[in-house]
Chain A
Amino acid sequence: SRELFVLTYGALVAQLCKDYEKDEDVNTCLDRMGYGIGVRLIDDFLARSAVKKCRSYSETADMIAQVAFKMYLGITPSVSCSSATGNEFSLILDKNPLVDFVEELPAERASLCYCNLLCGVIRGALEMVHLAAEVTFLQDRLKGDAVTEIGITFLRKAEDRKHKRN
């Protein structure tokens, strides 16, 4: 059940808050761990979903929101492209199971990105399919914003495997 994951995640964040005084350090730690998970999760994802290779950043963003998020967290964030250059996307999370048992951030932890693991996971997974990206939380309901929004910025052109030279 997903509860095990959510509860374990909560215990992890609590432990990291004990280990690190600064919010930025906890955030970095979560991102790093997320990355470690992402680079392995991608294999699991590809095995379970058997999807074809995405041909554009837009398809990739849709895949993340509609297939991956649904598969692992049971939610489907909405996707929008936020730049004319076509490489910046934003995922709006209406619901977020990771914070099911969290009401609000403690006062002394105002800069904590509670769900920062997710950014690392996405970044790590994308890297394994040769897509470099920056992933951060643009808005966070836990910090008082109206919605929770994850921004994905693709950094390089996606490799075209057919023309790859050895």
Chain B
Amino acid sequence: AADEALFLLLHNEMVAGLYRAAEQGEGENGRCTTKLESMGFRVGQGLIERFTKDTARFKDELDIMKFICKDFWTTVFKKQIDNLRTNHQGIYVLQDNKFRLLTQMSVGKQYLEHAPKYLAFTCGLIRGGLSNLGIKSIVTAEVSSMPACK
């Protein structure tokens, strides 16, 4: 649990630091999200590398998505994804009702606009993990009411 606290603080400081630098003219805001997403991508790849050395090969795409929702999510966020939906045509929606990176933030509507900054890294994380499992993807996130997100 102590390392979870450390990771949370590092993540939040990274978000704050990048946006701070952007404000001081060292790049536009849009790039911050891209940077966070690429960092997440690298980490996702690295995690999967270390992860799946022992696990058996997956049967299909759905199997991989279940792995992401259960094992992967638990390793990273100490809980599973609460809800997985799919149209069986390549689109999956993962719902986390108490997303760890948002639970520390206040629930008020005024913080909603900042929430996406805290999701960029995680989107990259998923995309990186899937990439190392042989799946190319586009990962986006939305927050309608904190701390839940899809």
Q: Which residues of A contact B (CB under 8 A)?
A: 1-5, 7-12, 14-15, 19, 29, 32-33, 36-37, 40-41, 44, 48, 71-72, 101, 117
A5 vs B1: C-alpha distance in the bound complex, in angstroms? 12
Nearest CB of chain A from residue B5's CB, rounded to whole Å: 5
Contacts of A33 in B (CB 8 A): 10, 13-14, 17
A44 vs B97: C-alpha distance in the bound complex, in angstroms? 24
Majority-rule SS of B interface residues: helix
Query: In the complex, which of the residues B1, B9, B121 contacts A41, with contact meaning CB atoms closer than 8 Å?
Result: B9
**B7 adjacent to A8 (CB under 8 Å):** yes
Nearest CB of chain A from residue B66's CB, rounded to whole Å: 20
Nearest CB of chain B from residue A121's CB, rounded to whole Å: 9
A36 vs B26: C-alpha distance in the bound complex, in angstroms? 20
Query: In the complex, which of the residues A1, A4, A7, A44 contacts B42, with contact meaning CB atoms closer than 8 Å?
Result: A7
Nearest CB of chain A from residue B38's CB, rounded to whole Å: 7
Contacts of A117 in B (CB 8 A): 10
In the assembled complex, 30 residue pairs joining A and B whose CB atoms fall closer than 8 Å, in A order, are: A3-B47, A4-B43, A4-B47, A4-B76, A5-B6, A5-B10, A7-B43, A8-B14, A8-B43, A10-B42, A10-B46, A11-B43, A12-B39, A14-B42, A19-B26, A19-B27, A19-B35, A29-B21, A32-B17, A33-B13, A36-B16, A41-B5, A41-B6, A41-B9, A44-B9, A48-B1, A71-B2, A72-B2, A72-B3, A101-B46
Q: Which residues of B contact A (CB under 8 A)?
A: 1-3, 5-7, 9-11, 13-14, 16-17, 21, 26-27, 35, 38-40, 42-43, 46-47, 50, 75-76, 121
Nearest CB of chain A from residue B128's CB, rounded to whole Å: 10
The 9 closest A-B pairs by CB, nearest first: A11-B39, A7-B46, A7-B43, A37-B9, A11-B42, A44-B5, A5-B7, A36-B13, A33-B13
Nearest CB of chain A from residue B34's CB, rounded to whole Å: 10
Nearest CB of chain B from residue A8's CB, rounded to whole Å: 5
A101 vs B50: C-alpha distance in the bound complex, in angstroms? 12
Nearest CB of chain A from residue B115's CB, rounded to whole Å: 19
Most chain-A Cβ atoms within 10 A of its Cβ — which of B5, B21, B46, B76? B5
Known: A7-B42, A8-B43, A36-B17. A2 touches B35 (CB 8 A): no
**B2 adjacent to A48 (CB under 8 Å):** yes
Contacts of B38 in A (CB 8 A): 15
Contacts of A12 in B (CB 8 A): 10, 14, 39
Given contacts A7-B47, A11-B39, A33-B17, 7 further A-B contacts (CB under 8 A): A8-B7, A10-B42, A10-B46, A15-B35, A19-B35, A32-B17, A72-B6
Contacts of B16 in A (CB 8 A): 36
Nearest CB of chain A from residue B67's CB, rounded to whole Å: 16
Most chain-B Cβ atoms within 10 A of its Cβ — which of A8, A15, A29? A8
Known: A11-B42, A15-B39. A2 touches B10 (CB 8 A): no
